[in-house]
A and B are shown apart, each in its own frame.
Chain A
Amino acid sequence: MADKPVRKLSIIASKGSLDMAYPPLILANAARMSGVEVNVFFTFWGLDIITKKKMDHLNVAVVGNPSMHPSFHIPTLVGVIPGMSAMASWMMRKEIAKLDFPPVGEFVQLIQDAGANLYGCKMSMDMMKLTVNDLVDGAKVLGAMEFIEMSDGGQTLFV
C-alpha cells in the first residue's frame, strides 16, 4: 500500500495508425489509474499520436492489415478503392466511442492530466522535420539514450 516503492512503466509507441495508437494510450492510462509512474516515448510513426496536426486524423490501414476483425474485414482488392481507409477509420472511431474511449487527441490530454510524461523521439523528429512546437503542449523532446536511462528500474513495453 502506501509505503511500497512506486512502480514505473516505460512505453515506447512506434506506430501511428488509429488501431495502434490506442494500446499505448490505454496502457499508460491504466498504469496511472493504479498509481504507476509512466513515461511514454513516441518514435517514428508513433510521433503522429502527439503531433497536433495529425493526432485527430489517424487512419486504420485496410490493405495489408491481417488483423482486421471480421466485422471490419475488407478484402484487399476492395481496400484499394479510394475512401475505404477513411470509411474503416470512421467505423473504428465509432466503435471506440461506444466503449467510452475518447478520440486520440482527448486521450493524450487525459493521460497528461493523469500525470503521464510524454516524450517525442529527437531523431524521428529531425527526420520528419518536426519541432517541439508541433507536438502537443507539455510533451518534451528526448534522445533514445536519455529515455533508456530514464527507464532504469522500471518495466518497458514496446508497441
Chain B
Amino acid sequence: MSKLLDSVKFDADGYLDDPNQWTEELAKEIAAREGITLSDRHWVVINYARNEWKTKGEAPTLRNITKNTDVDTKELYGLFPGGPGKLAAKVAGLHKPTGCI
C-alpha cells in the first residue's frame, strides 16, 4: 500500500469513506489497486461522476453516465472491466451507487 492510500480511510468494500478527501492523485492509486491505468476516457467518466456527486450528493447511475457523456455502455465496460457500477464510483472516491441501472 502506498502512503497516499494509507493516509485516507476506506469502507470494507473499498469505497472512500469521505468523498471530500478525493484528489486526482488518489484516483490514480485507487485505480492502480483495482488493476486499472487511467486514460483520458476514464477521466471523462470520473469527472462527470464527481460533478454529479457535487450537485446531487450521490454517485450517478451508469445509465446517467452513458446518457450524458460520450462514453457508451460498451466503452464503459471496457474502461472498467471488473464491473463499472462499482469501479467507476470507487475510483471517483464516491460511495457505493444505490441506483439499479
Chain A residues with CB under 8 Å of chain B are 1-2, 26, 29-30, 32-36, 99-102, 110, 113-115
Q: How far is the CB of A23 from chain B (nearest CB, A)?
A: 11
Which residues of chain A have C-beta atoms less than 8 A from B3's C-beta? none
Q: Is the pair A2, B83 in contact by a Cβ cutoff of 8 Å?
A: no
Out of A2, A101, A113, name the residue touching B77 (CB < 8 Å).
Answer: A113
Q: Can you show 7 pairs from A to B with CB atoms below 8 A apart?
A: A2-B34, A30-B85, A34-B83, A100-B61, A100-B64, A100-B101, A113-B73
B interface residues, Cβ below 8 angstroms from A? 14, 33-35, 61-64, 72-74, 77, 81-87, 100-101
Summed over the interface, the residue pairs from A and B with CB atoms below 8 Å come to a total of 47
CA distance A110 to B35 in the complex (A): 25
* Cα A100 to Cα B82 with chains together (Å): 24
Q: Which one, A1, A30, A34, A35, contacts B14 given CB within 8 A?
A: A1
Flag if A33 contacts B33 (CB, 8 Å). no
Judge whether B64 and A113 touch: CB under 8 Å: no
Give Cα A1–Cα B73 distance, bound, in whole angstroms. Answer: 22
When the two chains form their complex, are residues B83 and A35 in contact, meaning their CB atoms are under 8 A apart? yes
B62 touches A33 (CB 8 A): yes
Closest 10 CB pairs of A and B: A35-B83, A33-B85, A113-B73, A2-B35, A34-B83, A35-B82, A113-B74, A34-B85, A34-B86, A115-B77
Contacts A2-B82, A26-B101 known; A114 to B77 CB distance under 8 Å? yes
A1 is contacted by which of B33, B62, B72, B74 (Cβ under 8 Å)?
B33
B83 contacts A101, CB within 8 Å? no
Q: Are A33 and B83 in contact (CB under 8 A)?
A: yes
A35 touches B86 (CB 8 A): yes
For A26, A29, A36, A99, the residue with the greatest tally of chain B CB atoms inside 10 Å of its CB is A29
Residues on the A chain within 8 Å of B72, using CB: 113
Which residues of the partner chain B approach A114 to less than 8 Å between Cβ atoms?
73, 77
- In Å, the complex CA distance between A58 and B74 comes to 26
Contact (Cβ within 8 A) B82 A36? no
For B85, list chain A residues within 8 Å (CB).
30, 32-35
A36: chain B residues within 8 A (beta carbon) = 83
Q: Which residues of A contact B61 (CB under 8 A)?
A: 100
Question: A29 contacts which of B35, B86, B101 (Cβ < 8 Å)?
Answer: B101
| Cα separation A15 to B86 with both chains bound (whole Å) | 30
A36 to B82, CA, bound (A): 8
User: Inside 8 A of B100's CB, which chain A residues have their CB?
Assistant: 26, 29-30
